[in-house]
Amino acid sequence: MSSTAYSSHATMEETEIVKRKRKGKSMREIIKELKVQLLSEIKPRNPDAFVRKAKEEGIMVIEGTRGDIAIVDPEFYDEFMSRLKYFPKNIEEIELGSVEKKFFNFLRVNALIYFDGNKWVSVV
């Protein structure tokens, strides 16, 4: 994906969050709908305050080893993690939705999950 397309995508994501926020929805309600939001996608003006607010609202905040942060709906997180051990080594063998793929890739790229020869294991 080109940086222009990525930038455009990030702008669309931020616009969507801003639109939802203007409708009076809490951050928790927005994340419940989105399931997973990477901080790099929305680029908030004050990332520390954004993360602090997410934690205050009971949203999962997962810091990656490469500088990005995933803001995750707690119910989605629990359900995803309970299924993770059943995923095959070659993840392309199963159908994951775009949100699940995004979260899986975030975890894998940041060394927060690994395949131990038999199953995927989380270190989060």
**pLDDT, tens digit, for every residue of 11-61?**
445 455 555 555 789 999 999 999 999 999 999 999 999 999 999 999 999
pLDDT of 24 reads 84
Residue 6 scores a pLDDT above 80: no
pLDDT of 23 reads 72
pLDDT of 3 reads 38
Residue 96 scores a pLDDT above 60: yes
DSSP at 37: E
Cα–Cα distance for residue pair 83/66, rounded to 1 Å: 25
pLDDT tens by residue, 54-90? 999 999 999 999 999 999 999 999 999 999 999 999 9
DSSP percent split of the chain into helix, strand, coil, nearest 5: 55, 15, 30
The CA–CA distances, whole Å, from 82 to 50, 100, 117 equal 28, 13, 18
Reading the block at residue 13, the tokens are 């994501």
Residue 1 scores a pLDDT above 80: no
Average pLDDT over residues 93-113: 95
Identity of the residue numbered 10: A
